[in-house]
Amino acid sequence: MDGGMNDPLGPLCSIGELARRTGLTVKAIRFYSDRGIVPPTGRSPAGYRLYGADALARLDLVRTLRELGVGLPDIRKVVARELSLSEVAAAHADALAVQIRTLRLRHAVLTAVARRDSDPEEMDLMHRLARLSEDERRRLIDDFLDSVFTGSAGSAGSGAFVGIRRSLTPELPDNPEPEQIAAWVELAELSQDGEFRALVRRLVEHLAAEQEGAHGGGPRPGLVPTVRELVGPVLAAGIEPGDGASAPVVEALLAHDVHVLTRLEAVNDPRRERYTELLAVINGWPAPESVAPVLDWAVEALRVREPVGGVPGAPDVPSRP
């Protein structure tokens, strides 16, 4: 028998000795050997496989690559020098990036389902939304925004409309955080709601009219900033919407727009504020300040003042005897 078998430090060693030195099982080494990844250097007189020093290095490389998820075909090409290690590493790094993104998407969907107690249909929708490619995400959002802007009053290509559309567009980054993925799924689901689309369409038309001065007299201050400026102080002072001290604020709101109550009810829809919150998370913007408290106060104050005729600020109609 070859002396190398009896000397662990010799040029050749048996499969058993190789197993002891690498920590792999004899079965695993035989498996790699049969597939040409770690071929034996020779045979003992009794026909047993013998391995040289390079087998130890190959097996260490094989074990590392396998732990990193590299498949046997690529490993065989690396040890045969048909592919460089850097090429294989780059390819598998890209593959791992895709797997990581997939796992993050799954985590986001499962987290959303757990938080919202979703039914199977909603869970399926969220899962499909999360798995969309970048192009598919873009088409979905473009479809939503097109439904909002196309045919709206004014010119859809005007500066006002272009700016508003840009401010409503989510841009999911290449490597989103889990909360950005979850926000994207919820926003995408919200964008498919027909009632929400109609709501945003009305809000966009009103906002564009303000910015372009569609009612004459040049652009006017936005409705929400106006409400915040007028209502903020009285709300902080603890004045109730039905209090007599609220009258000047109500009159100022009516002076801004005779249909202010209808507009405020639309702006005060919780879905609008939720969309802006989700948009900020996705785009990495600062969290928007909630305007719900001032909007709630304004809406209630206007409703308290709403007369029989249904138009806030109109003279009361005396009841018939």
Q: Average pLDDT over the chain, rounded to whole?
A: 82
Q: What is the 3-state secondary structure (H, E, C) of the chain?
A: CCHHHCCCCCCCEEHHHHHHHHCCCHHHHHHHHHCCCCCCCEECCCCCEEECHHHHHHHHHHHHHHHCCCCHHHHHHHHCCCCCHHHHHHHHHHHHHHHHHHHHHHHHHHHHHHHHCCCHHHHHHHHHHHCCCHHHHHHHHHHHHHHHHCCCCCCCCCHHHHHHHHHCCCCCCCCCCHHHHHHHHHHHHHHCCHHHHHHHHHHHHHHHHHHHCCCCCCCCCCHHHHHHHHHHHHHHCCCCCCCHHHHHHHHHHHHHCCCHHHHHHHHCCHHHHHHHHHHHHHHCCCCCCCCHHHHHHHHHHHHHHCCCCCCCCCCCCCCCC
Banded model confidence at residue 159, pLDDT cuts 50, 70, 90: low
Whether 94 shows a pLDDT value over 90: the answer reads no
pLDDT, tens only, 221-262? 788 999 999 999 999 999 999 899 999 999 999 998 888 999
Structure confidence at residue 168 (pLDDT): 93
Percentage of residues of the chain with pLDDT beyond 70: 86
The reported pTM is 0.62
In terms of C-beta density within 10 A (0-12 exposed, 13-18 middle, 19 or more buried), how is residue 55 classed? buried
Structure confidence at residue 270 (pLDDT): 95
**Encoded tokens for 245:** 């001290």
pLDDT, tens only, 131-155? 777 888 899 999 999 999 886 654 4
Cα distance between residue 134 and residue 142, in whole Å: 12
**Encoded tokens for 58:** 């190959």
Whether 301 shows a pLDDT value over 90: the answer reads yes
For residue 223, give the nearest of 158, 307, 314, 294 by alpha carbon: 294
**Encoded tokens for 221:** 């201050």
**Do residues 76 and 35 touch, judged by C-beta distance below 8 A?**
yes
**Encoded tokens for 21:** 């030195």
pLDDT, tens only, 185-203? 889 999 999 999 999 999 9
Which amino acid does the sequence have at 197? R
Structure confidence at residue 312 (pLDDT): 45
Whether 9 shows a pLDDT value over 50: the answer reads no
For residue 111, give the nearest of 177, 162, 165 by alpha carbon: 177
Structure confidence at residue 192 (pLDDT): 92
**Do residues 188 and 169 touch, judged by C-beta distance below 8 A?**
no
Banded model confidence at residue 57, pLDDT cuts 50, 70, 90: confident
| 282 CB neighbour count, 10 Å cutoff | 24
**By mean pLDDT, which of 38-47, 48-57, 197-206, 215-224 is the weakest?**
215-224
**Encoded tokens for 24:** 């792999």
Instruction: Give mean pLDDT, residues 92-100.
Output: 79
For residue 269, give the nearest of 230, 299, 238 by alpha carbon: 299
Structure confidence at residue 152 (pLDDT): 60
**Encoded tokens for 51:** 């391995």
pLDDT, tens only, 114-137? 777 778 887 787 777 777 778 888
